[in-house]
Amino acid sequence: MKTVLTVWLALLCSPAFAQFGKGFQLVNQSEKKQVSVLYNGNLLTAYCWYDSIKKPFLFPLNTLDGVTVTRGFPVAPHAGERTDHPHHVGLWMNYESVNGLDFWNHSTAIPYQKRNAYGTIMHQKIISQNASGNNATLITAATWVRPDAVVLLDEKTSHVFTVKDSLFFIDRITTLTARDTTVLFKDVKDGFLAIRVARELEMPSQQADVFVDAHGNKTTVAQINNEGVTGMYYGSTGLQGDSVWSSQGPWVALKGIKDGKNITIAMIDHPSNIGYPAYWHARGYGLFALNPLGRNIFSNGQETLNFSLKPHTAVTFRYRVVLSSQSLMATKLNDLAAEFRQTK
């Protein structure tokens, strides 16, 4: 398969690129299994459904001035970055325990003889796409599928891309509808909406860690050189760093310096969501995630959710991601969260 970088370079050099003007353009490249999201002719992200990845995802994530905030591995690896957790790629949504199947940890690194314990989210079609000025919307359909090809959930997702006041906003609105059986999202740690960030935006670490998934598979996150590693988490409640993990709140921001820019990545929860305010599954090694469903884990057994959907019923999740090449203060982030709360 051609690398993502090769695909993008071909796009930029194509005659069609010359026609791109101001504002957003959505370039459907179905033969390459992606839709590129351009703003003023520059790539901000792409919706991808590659065969090598077990779910659709956005990759990369770029700020308006071209700073890439996501890790390249495993899609477009480069020197100096970590190679742990190959299922962490770009911006994605899935979950570790859906009727006992692990959708979160599935990747091509899982041996074939073990894949009967994992589920796959399969892109089905582009429902619609529209781009005009500072706004664009991409609506897609996918299915959450068991190893025996039985569909558990139908997914309809709207990605709404907006540029406003030098900020890049990504709203993800996802509706999950159960097919013919009750679908149980057991309280677990790994989920739900997540970004794997670039090495520079990780938190400096002096130790190696070993992480074990629900099936006992171990992933080692080695200690590596901290030069240029500048990330720090900031919670809406005032917590910072590792203390943000397992906390609750309407937003969390990750700040750091990359390519000489003061980067802020913020994730914002919406009060209409199950489990609001979400628990934050924010790890120093570069996993920035929120999990509204794993309440028993994050509350040390004080809460239990075990959310389920009966056949042919649906639930909708709405989240906002903000990318900036500025250090956004808590007052600004509170204002952005208040704006998001007003959206329907």
Query: Which residue, among 178, 196, 169, 180, has the nearest Cα to 318 in the 3D structure?
Result: 169
Name the phi and psi angles at 9, rounded to 5.
-65, -40
Give ∠ CA 161-166-172 in degrees, rounded to 5. 20
Instruction: Examine residue 186 and state whether it is found in any structural domain, yes or no.
Output: yes
Q: Is residue 17 part of a domain?
A: no
Q: Report pLDDT for 285.
A: 94
Give CA angle at 250 (90, 134), nearest 5°.
55
Per-residue pLDDT of the chain (344 residues; tens, 9 = 90+): 455 555 545 555 454 444 456 999 999 999 999 999 999 999 999 999 998 899 999 999 999 999 999 999 999 998 888 999 999 999 999 999 999 999 999 998 899 999 999 999 999 999 999 999 999 999 999 999 999 999 999 999 999 999 999 999 999 999 999 999 999 999 999 999 999 999 999 999 866 766 666 666 767 777 677 889 999 999 999 999 999 999 999 999 999 999 999 999 999 999 999 999 999 999 999 999 999 999 999 999 999 999 999 999 999 999 999 999 999 999 999 999 999 999 98
pLDDT of residue 1: 44
233 within domain boundaries: yes
- 18: in domain: no
Number of domains in the chain: 1
pLDDT of 16 reads: 45
Q: Which domain holds residue 333?
A: 90-341
Question: Is 81 within a domain?
Answer: no
| Within a domain: 133 | yes
Residue 39 lies in a domain: no
Instruction: For residue 326, tell me if it sits in a domain.
Output: yes
pLDDT for residue 80: 86
* pLDDT value at residue 3: 53
Q: How far apart are CA 152 and CA 120, in angstroms?
A: 10
The whole-angstrom separation of Cα 249 and Cα 60 is: 26
Nearest residue to 194 (alpha-carbon basis) of 329, 24, 55, 311: 55
